[in-house]
Amino acid sequence: MSITPLEFARGNAEVYRNQLFELLRIPSISTMPEHNDDVRRAAEWLMANMKQLGMQTAELLPNDGHPAVYGEWLGAGPDAPTILVYGHYDVQPAVLADGWSNPPFEPVIRNGVIYARGASDDKGQMFTHLKALEAFLATEGHAPVNVKYLIEGEEEIGSPNLGSLLSTHKARLVADVCVISDTGMAAMDNPAITYALRGLAYMELHVTGPKRDLHSGLGGPVHNPALALSQIIAQLHNADGSVAVPGFYDDVLPLDADERAALREIELDAAAFIRETGIPAVWGEPGYTLIERQTARPTLEINGLLSGFTGAGSKTVLPAKAMAKISCRLVANQDPERIYQQVRAFVQQITPPTVRTELRYLNGGTPALVDRNLPAMQAAISAFERGWGAAPSFRRSGGTIPVVADFARELNIPSILMGFGLESDGAHGPDEHLSVEMFHRGIATSICFMEALAEKGR
Amino acid sequence: MSITPLEFARGNAEVYRNQLFELLRIPSISTMPEHNDDVRRAAEWLMANMKQLGMQTAELLPNDGHPAVYGEWLGAGPDAPTILVYGHYDVQPAVLADGWSNPPFEPVIRNGVIYARGASDDKGQMFTHLKALEAFLATEGHAPVNVKYLIEGEEEIGSPNLGSLLSTHKARLVADVCVISDTGMAAMDNPAITYALRGLAYMELHVTGPKRDLHSGLGGPVHNPALALSQIIAQLHNADGSVAVPGFYDDVLPLDADERAALREIELDAAAFIRETGIPAVWGEPGYTLIERQTARPTLEINGLLSGFTGAGSKTVLPAKAMAKISCRLVANQDPERIYQQVRAFVQQITPPTVRTELRYLNGGTPALVDRNLPAMQAAISAFERGWGAAPSFRRSGGTIPVVADFARELNIPSILMGFGLESDGAHGPDEHLSVEMFHRGIATSICFMEALAEKGR
């Protein structure tokens, strides 16, 4: 009696976890140049793993930044559907001092949960799709669909080279559907398919005053740049919590009654949200529910502030400059570049004559909204029912996967976002983690998706 | 024919400069615990120099923090006046990357100017009074007045232990007048005696929201602590540039017409101030001239801002916390502790329910105002005329020397602030410097002050 791919995957659970640990140990932080070698090492590790599990092709796709890893297995033949799996092997910065319980690049399992930077976002989730193909090839010698893998190394810095990569390799990347596992569900027994993602416009605001730091005893006739920065930032929101930048909401596609009704069904429990995050009270744009504020409405966040003396103790300095990292989460049909222009124009308008300001655009991503009525969506529902053990709900994500928009634009294919993580996995923060059980259910769900897509067709 | 103290001091100019360089090379940064050993090394160097030049006593006065250095020469006898020289050997933090042209603790002379942290504030200025005594002892074997030296190591952190030190050693520190050289003049040929100093209340404002950093994709229902901090800071000033904290100006002693007229004579040249500082335009409290804003009116400055991700590139984090260093410069008769209470009450009042705030008091100093009609003031005028080569004007300083208030309170003696630096020396900033010529004129002026005080009596 032969073993099924699902059985094989379960039997190899420990092997797969150990492989994932190898990948998690590589600090592939794409935004920090001192980690460039680590990013490359992670790409090469992934390419080797693809070859080892039996892909027909596995190579690095060079570009102006960190290479993407491309692998394919096309043995199902031209009549079978083709899946393009997209994921990323790069991660956010992380150091122990941020509040981690273990060194972020020394993965550990505590109470059935893997703790490591990248465990959930996105090494752990992405890796499930590689292991799904491996389970087919190791048992049946072939998979029911053709599979292409595009695993990039620049997602955490806004995928600056992915558009040109998709364009360059367009012919090779042809597929029926893109599958991405880089999103979260509220609870393990409540899986979700994400049909909307917010976009991003990431900026840096610089305020300068005196040409060098002054002794604060000279203060009085000088507009303090840290003060001026605070005053400018304070004007970016209205008193009610909405964004005050003129035109900011102009391109927002309004929610229709059906969608608002569906979102009400999965509205955040305010008390639980307060408990989980530790905030004293919820906040945000009036007229919208918490889940709408988090996933269906744009935001303007301050991601960082730096000015003057920030060490222990006191330094009586009047700083020469002040800096803020500012990013907007966007929703369909907002455009990152247009939002940047609007924020810049507003900042210029409210800059007092006593300081100078400059708003720089760092990177961005277009928001995405996927049709919930596609056949591939039905295959995904069936995959969760069989592979995960629970029917999925449809959700919006507050995060950004800019490539969903890129795939629609460059390859003209829809993306199915089947997340295998939890919203509470702590992506981008300290103690990022992924449940061991969810990692293995993810592999099973990917196996079932391949089978279901082969049945339901394209 | 015997040589005079003034001639001796000029003849030993290079020796004195080299000694000063030895002291400037010691990074005695009192606010950074990692420099504790350097602070002690500077104290011991100073004690050795005092012994070497012939003081009868030279010792360290231990306390809860960095030791003070005490030296005395009482050979003029009980009928002669006694001067208490106060200065400090500790310095502000400084690293090359702040914008220095040379490593800040490797002093160099460029175009007749000594560049080093502490060159002007206060090692260079303080040291002149030691060398003045040396010039008397080396030539005449005695000085015309008794001199006591109290050189502390905690001025840059708000002199937390000086009050108790003065109290403990009250009997020993008895003197007729305190002399302090830790202030600046506008130009070398326009020396100044400072009769007013601003006080200080230094605070740290902490805003906290979520218990850990969140992925900014979760943003919308969460009040961003960096945003909230900016919004709170923005409310600390009115739109016209005045401080909005209720009660802030209540205890300010108003300027009378005479003093305003005198200050108008030394009003800052706005164009020159803009050119020197590099600011695009002047700023500040309406109804007051620039010099009044800088020296006779209180301020509220932001000395530092820190939140979230501040490195190169982008990190999509919604920070858990944000911090600002805030300090108020105070004028007579404001009280640092009362100002802190007012700011804290106001911050509490304007803190929205969506974040938590905490305002911590770090340190402070009482503002000072000295009577311009003292006999010792006349001696100081004569000393500048003879030793410096120009008659001094009376000025207010925007900076803080909290000990002036301490000397008045604990020892009941007035302080004569005869600064030997320039306002443009860059104290606390990069490329702090002191003119070589002014260093030597300072020694001459100190010699002449001792002579003039002996003549004019107490």
Strand partners, A397: A197
Residue recorded with tokens 């003696």 = B413
CATH number of the CATH domain containing A343: 3.30.70.360
Answer whether B317 sits within 8 Å of A284, measured CB to CB. Answer: no
Enumerate the residues of chain A whose CB falls inside 8 A of the CB of residue B313: 31-32, 157, 362
User: DSSP class of residue B55?
Assistant: -
The rounded distance, in Å, linking the Cα atoms of A187 and A441 is 13
Q: Does residue A183 sit at the B interface (CB-CB below 8 Å)?
A: no
The rounded distance, in Å, linking the Cα atoms of B9 and B15 is 10
Candidates A211, A227, A310; nearest CB to B233: A227
Higher per-residue confidence, A189 vs B370: A189
Average pLDDT over residues A74-92: 97
**B71 to chain A nearest CA, in Å?**
29
* Tokens read off for A150: 């595009």
For A361: left if phi > 0, alpha if psi spans -120 to 50, otherwise beta; the answer is beta
**A94 to chain B nearest CA, in Å?**
11
Task: Read off the amino acid at residue A353.
Answer: P
pLDDT of residue B409: 84
CATH number of the CATH domain containing B130: 3.40.630.10
The rounded distance, in Å, linking the Cα atoms of A420 and A413 is 22
Strands (E), A331-425: 356-365, 368-369, 393-397, 415-418, 421-422
Residue A129: Cβ-neighbour burial (10 angstroms; 0-12, 13-18, 19+) = buried
Which residues contact residue B361 at a Cβ distance below 8 angstroms, ignoring those fewer than 6 apart?
A: B201, B202, B203, B337, B340
Chain B residue whose CA is closest to A286: B221
The rounded distance, in Å, linking the Cα atoms of A249 and A427 is 28
**A258 to chain B nearest CA, in Å?**
22
User: Which residues of chain A from 319 to 358 reach within 8 Å of chain B, CB to CB?
Assistant: 319, 322-325, 327, 329, 352-356
**B210 to chain A nearest CA, in Å?**
5
C-alpha to C-alpha distances, B82 to A357, B77, B375, B450, B451, nearest whole angstrom: 54, 9, 14, 9, 12
Q: Are residues A26 and A148 in the same domain?
A: yes
Which 3 state secondary structure label does DSSP give B123? helix
- CB A420 within 8 Å of CB A193: no
- CB A134 within 8 Å of CB A450: no
In a domain, A260, yes or no: no
pLDDT at A351 over 70: yes
In a domain, A257, yes or no: no
Q: Are residues B132 and B238 in the same domain?
A: no
- CB A413 within 8 Å of CB A177: yes
C-alpha to C-alpha distances, B355 to A38, B74, B237, B348, nearest whole angstrom: 38, 60, 21, 11
Which 3 state secondary structure label does DSSP give A164? helix
Residue B250's CB: how many other CB atoms inside 10 A? 11
Answer whether A217 sits within 8 Å of B230, measured CB to CB. Answer: no
**A47 to chain B nearest CA, in Å?**
27
- Of B347, B364, B381, the residue at which a domain comes to its end is B364
pLDDT of residue A252: 98
The rounded distance, in Å, linking the Cα atoms of A390 and A393 is 10
Q: Are residues B149 and B224 in the same domain?
A: no
Enumerate the residues of chain A whose CB falls inside 8 A of the CB of residue B400: 217, 316
Chain B residue whose CA is closest to A291: B221
- CB A35 within 8 Å of CB A29: yes
Domains in chain A, number: 2
* Tokens read off for A89: 């092997």
Candidates A215, A304, A322; nearest CB to B308: A304
ipTM at complex level? 0.76
pLDDT digits (tens, 9 = 90+) for A269-294: 999 999 999 999 999 999 999 999 99
Chain A residue whose CA is closest to B157: A314
pLDDT of residue B457: 67
Strand partners, A204: A325, A360
Answer whether B278 sits within 8 Å of A210, measured CB to CB. Answer: yes
Candidates A222, A231, A290; nearest CB to B277: A222
Q: Are residues B78 and B46 in the same domain?
A: yes
Q: Are residues B372 and B360 in the same domain?
A: no
Which residues contact residue A435 at a Cβ distance below 8 angstroms, ignoring those fewer than 6 apart?
A: A112, A113, A114, A188, A422
Q: Does residue A32 sit at the B interface (CB-CB below 8 Å)?
A: yes
Q: Are residues A10 and A116 in the same domain?
A: yes
Q: Does residue B286 sit at the A interface (CB-CB below 8 Å)?
A: no
Task: Give the pLDDT band (50/70/90) at residue A404.
Answer: confident
DSSP H or E stretch at residue A317? strand A317-318
Q: Which residues of B410-422 are buried (b: 16+ CB within 10 A; e: fewer)?
A: bbebbbbbbbbbb
Which residues contact residue B141 at a Cβ distance below 8 angstroms, ignoring those fewer than 6 apart?
A: none
Enumerate the residues of chain B whose CB falls inside 8 A of the CB of residue A234: 230-231, 233-235
In a domain, A265, yes or no: no
Candidates A221, A230, A316; nearest CB to B293: A221
User: DSSP class of residue B210?
Assistant: S
Q: Are residues A192 and A215 in the same domain?
A: no
Enumerate the residues of chain B whose CB falls inside 8 A of the CB of residue A36: none
- CB A324 within 8 Å of CB A305: yes
Q: Does residue A262 sit at the B interface (CB-CB below 8 Å)?
A: no
In a domain, A95, yes or no: yes
Candidates B200, B304, B318; nearest CB to A309: B304
- CB B231 within 8 Å of CB B430: no
Q: Are residues B205 and B343 in the same domain?
A: yes
Q: Around B382, how many Cα atoms within 13 Å sit in the side-chain half-sphere?
A: 15
CA dihedral angle for residue A9, residue A14, residue A18, residue A21, rounded to 10 degrees: 90
C-alpha to C-alpha distances, A354 to A123, A228, A240, A351, nearest whole angstrom: 48, 9, 28, 8
- CB A288 within 8 Å of CB A255: no
* Tokens read off for B405: 């208030």
Q: Around B411, how many Cα atoms within 13 Å sit in the side-chain half-sphere?
A: 28
Q: Are residues B31 and B134 in the same domain?
A: yes
**A230 to chain B nearest CA, in Å?**
4
Length of chain A in residues, anyone?
Answer: 458
pLDDT of residue B458: 60
* Tokens read off for A433: 């983690």
SS (H, E, C) A66-129: CCEEEEEECCCCCCCCEEEEEEECCECCCCHHHCCCCCCCCCEEECCEEECCCCCCCHHHHHHH
In a domain, B283, yes or no: no
Q: Are residues A167 and A94 in the same domain?
A: yes
pLDDT of residue A1: 57
Q: Does residue A101 sit at the B interface (CB-CB below 8 Å)?
A: no
Q: Are residues B171 and B23 in the same domain?
A: yes
pLDDT digits (tens, 9 = 90+) for A303-335: 999 999 999 999 999 999 999 999 999 999 999
- Of B322, B342, B364, the residue at which a domain comes to its end is B364
Strands (E), B68-215: 68-73, 82-88, 108-110, 113-115, 146-152, 177-180, 184-185, 192-197, 199-208, 214-215
Percent of chain A scored above 90 by pLDDT?
A: 88
Peptide bond into B333 cis (omega under 30): yes
In a domain, A220, yes or no: yes
pLDDT digits (tens, 9 = 90+) for A37-67: 999 999 999 999 999 999 999 999 999 999 9
Answer whether A303 sits within 8 Å of B302, measured CB to CB. Answer: no
Enumerate the residues of chain A whose CB falls inside 8 A of the CB of residue B279: 209-210, 222-223, 354-355
User: Which residues of chain A from 106 to 165 reach within 8 Å of chain B, CB to CB?
Assistant: 157-158
User: DSSP class of residue B384?
Assistant: I
pLDDT along chain B (458 residues), means of 10: 91 97 98 96 98 97 96 96 97 95 97 97 98 98 98 93 93 95 89 92 98 94 98 98 98 93 92 97 98 97 98 94 98 96 98 98 90 88 96 89 83 92 91 97 98 85
Q: Does residue A19 sit at the B interface (CB-CB below 8 Å)?
A: no
Q: Which residues of B74-112 are buried (b: 16+ CB within 10 A; e: fewer)?
A: bbbeeebbbbbbbbbbbbbbbeeebebeebbbebeeeee
Listed in sequence order, the DSSP H helices in A106-211 are 123-139, 162-168
- CB A177 within 8 Å of CB A83: yes
Domain that holds residue A227: 199-252+298-365
The rounded distance, in Å, linking the Cα atoms of A60 and B17 is 63
The rounded distance, in Å, linking the Cα atoms of B389 and B11 is 18
Enumerate the residues of chain B whose CB falls inside 8 A of the CB of residue A214: 277, 428-429
User: Which residues of chain B from 38 to 77 reach within 8 Å of chain A, CB to CB?
Assistant: none
In a domain, A311, yes or no: yes
pLDDT of residue B77: 95
- Of A313, A342, A365, the residue at which a domain comes to its end is A365
In a domain, B258, yes or no: no
Q: Which of A305, A306, A417 to mutate to test the interface with B (most CBs of B within 10 A)?
A: A305
Q: Are residues A9 and A153 in the same domain?
A: yes
Listed in sequence order, the DSSP H helices in B114-256 are 123-139, 162-168, 225-234
Residue recorded with tokens 């990190």 = B315
DSSP H or E stretch at residue B18? helix B13-24
